[in-house]
Amino acid sequence: MDNDKAYYVLLRTDQEEQFVTEAELQAVLADAVRRAEGLAGEALTRQVKFLLDTACDYPTSPSEYLQWYSVRLEKK
């Protein structure tokens, strides 16, 4: 894995944790926000950036969630 990139652990309801890049997390968040809030275009981009900068979870429905946190991967 490339150490110059930001990596996150992504947790979803009833799924195993995943290591994802920032671009992959943005895509997951964009899809969730688009479905939940009906945003598109620049509004969607701003909301995803806001979530990445200020949050670590996003409820996708009353019983489902997305959670993420930044991790540092070290090369051995």
pLDDT digits (tens, 9 = 90+) for 3-34: 567 899 999 999 999 999 999 999 999 999 99
Residue 20 maps to a domain: yes
- Alpha-carbon gap, residue 21 to 1, rounded angstroms: 10
- At 74, the pLDDT band (50, 70, 90 cuts) reads confident
For residue 53, the domain's CATH number is 3.90.940.40
Residue 26 maps to a domain: yes
Residue 44 maps to a domain: yes
pLDDT at 5: 79
Domain ranges, residue 58:
7-71
Query: What is the rounded (10 degree) CA torsion for 34, 66, 68, 25?
Result: -30
What is the number of domains present in the chain? 1
Residue 1 maps to a domain: no
Reduced to 3 states, what is the DSSP secondary structure of residue 4?
coil
Which residues, in sequence order, are CB contacts of 36 under 8 Å at separation 6+?
58, 60, 61
To the question of pTM greater than 0.85 for the whole model, the response is yes
Residue 24 maps to a domain: yes
